Structure 1
Amino acid sequence: MPGAFQYKPKFVDIRVRPPSKDEAKQDDDVYALKPGERACDHPGCRTAATARAPKSRDMLNEHYWFCQPHAAEYNKQWDFFAGMSEGEIRRRQAESAVGDRPTWQFKASKFSRESAAAAHNFGTGGPGFSDPFSLFGAGAKPAPRPEAANARRLGKLERNALADLDLDEDAEGPAIRARYIELVKRTHPDSNGGDRSAEHKLQRVIKAYQTLKKAKLA
């Protein structure tokens, strides 16, 4: 082929210049949160949260805050009836069919003078409020209140993270950190003789620990 028709590349040596400090700082500013914004609750995400999702079916009034992609990922995996038996599912569906709404007591306001006077007379056996056998609780000692359960209220992310670390839901911070160190040593190639078959488990362990740290449990 004549030399005039041969391909001659214009640039032979293509080198990539590392970013300067000003350029690197500008890239970091892309993820900087503006006043009033909050960070996404997904571990490792640095973008601003714009959507919320309930933590679990038992904590519908408590929410995670996610960016749009992580909110879509969380909602795709959301199952309100997960872990429930067929009987429990039918019962919840029946409750939803009739409204599934809380009820309120039909009594006067605590600021009502008439209500306060009636309660006082009833409790002390005043005129017109005799209850000698304590059928309505007048004069009876109040029943001891049961101690509140100390079980923590955990969302879906926290429960899944504890499961990935093979821990119970009542695990405390020291136990979480100890199990994290143990699993990292067991699954990291630098600690297990170069075995890379557990790298997927290692990624799940690291993500689980970041989730628990973000929730201030570890």
Structure 2
Amino acid sequence: MIKRRNTRPRAFDPDPDAPARCCDMPSCQEPAGYRAPRSRDALNQYYWFCLNHVREYNARWDYYKGMSPGQIEAHLRADIGWDRPTWAFGQSAKGAKRATPNEEDILDPLDILGQNRRSRAERARAQAYQERTSAPAALREPLAILGLSWPVSMEEAKSHYRALARKHHPDTNNGDRNAEERLKKINVAFTIVKTHLLTESLEKAL
């Protein structure tokens, strides 16, 4: 009896349409067989990575990165309605357009609306500053292990890692198992931070 050969590709097989070039991750010379979207605004434009780096990139992919809570909520509401406009029950589309007055058309001698606009702008600026200076959630524990604050440069991370590696290496601690376990955590934390910084650098360069 002749057995039929299974010709279906495996999930982790390289993309047959992959370009003949190296991985887009800096300093990686492996073949680029796997694609990943550049951003939520360019889902049909891709980076090309090797298998290990596409896994790292996908693990850190956040579609809502950089969006405020209000923008995320608006996006989710649009998805629920298939990006089509909706109106309150029992209200027509024409009526819905008249329901929200334009602030510019309202007489405001006490500048109440102007104060509200300035207050919203100040809150938006404060939130944007908070987002820039706060470490991404995935980096908070690794940075704490390394004793680093955010933002951090690659040079600073490497220098701090080398100092910690020397301090906690078993050879300098008479083979202490606790020092060995501590060094393992430091190595994992540095790998996570380094990968994030390399990915961030690649996104800015491309």
TM-score (norm. length: structure 2) = 0.41
Pick the structure with more helix per residue.
2
TM-score (norm. length: structure 1) = 0.39
